[in-house]
Amino acid sequence: MVIDSHAHLEMSPFDRDRDQVIKRAKAAGVEIIVTVGTTVEDCRKALEITRCYPGVYAVIGIHPHEVKDIDGGTYDSLKEMAKHEKVVAYGEIGLDFFRNLSPRGTQIHRFGEQLELASELGLPVVIHDRDAHRETMNLLKGWKGGRRGIIHCFSGDYPMARQCIELGFYISIPGTVTFEKNDKLRSIVRDLPLESLLVETDCPYLTPNPFRGKRNEPAYVVHTARKIAEIKGRPFEEVAAVTTANAKRIFNIP
């Protein structure tokens, strides 16, 4: 079994064939999918999906692109959703200084608020970090909360990865590890302990080879796990078993 630790099944590209996508995932050996909301509306949709599919779990939170729209009722809505038994983490939260769809100051402020909310809710966090490594690490190091969670779609360097692990985070590897020119990520994967890794699709984005150019979906996470096995010179079955155990541990999935 392989767990897709970060998908976006609630997004519109899956509205037409979501049921078939989940069936294809199961056929590929992906028994559990964690779908991640980015807005209040999408978090609600993610929860509805979990009610329909036993193997799907939800993460709720406000993506850095969307934090400019947080209002007085946003956190109350998320607190209510967090009571659902299939909510397994808070996220994805963090900083995105590549697209800057929310002002940087607002992103930093809301990131801090959401870290504290995750602590209040007793949930691990799923962190988004794009072109904001220094600021992300400063906030995580200063956070007095649980300091446990996942660095989603890791894009930093090896020293940053080690610091994240020391802070209690798992490093989640997306399909970009299969891209021909991504030697940097492959080098990081080679040198990190398997016990600190998760696999993800971030679907519908970041489709791995050999399907690059098509819509990504949870079934394709198997190709990411196989590439990790190849890089580390370990059996695929071992990579699948260890990353699955890691995901179940951090998400507290039975």
pLDDT of residue 231: 98
Long-range Cβ pairs for the range 210-214 (8 Å, 24+): 212/175, 212/178, 212/179
pLDDT digits (tens, 9 = 90+) for 166-189: 999 999 999 999 999 999 999 999
> How confident is the model over 40-65, as a mean pLDDT?
98
Q: What residues are paired with 150 via a beta bridge?
A: 126, 170
pLDDT of residue 32: 98
Neighbours of 218 (CB within 10 A): 29
Give whole-number Cα distances, 238 to 52, 91, 218, 241, 244, in Å.
30, 28, 19, 5, 10
pLDDT class for 146, splitting at 50, 70, 90?
A: confident
Please give the DSSP secondary-structure letter assigned to residue 196: G
Mean pLDDT of the chain: 97
Per-residue pLDDT at 2 exceeds 90: yes
How big is the chain by its Cα radius of gyration, in Å? 17
pLDDT class for 145, splitting at 50, 70, 90?
A: confident
pLDDT digits (tens, 9 = 90+) for 76-130: 999 999 999 999 999 999 999 999 999 999 999 999 999 999 999 999 999 999 9
pLDDT of residue 144: 87
| Tokens at 101, concatenated | 């769809």
43, 78 contact by CB (below 8 A): yes
Q: Where are the alpha helices (DSSP H) in 9-58?
A: 18-27, 40-52
| Tokens at 96, concatenated | 């995105």
Per-domain residue ranges of the chain:
2-251
Q: How many CA atoms lie within 13 A of 150 on its CB side?
A: 31
What are residue 205's phi and psi, to 5 degrees? -95, 170
Q: Which class does domain 2-251 fall in?
A: alpha beta
What are residue 83's phi and psi, to 5 degrees? -75, -15
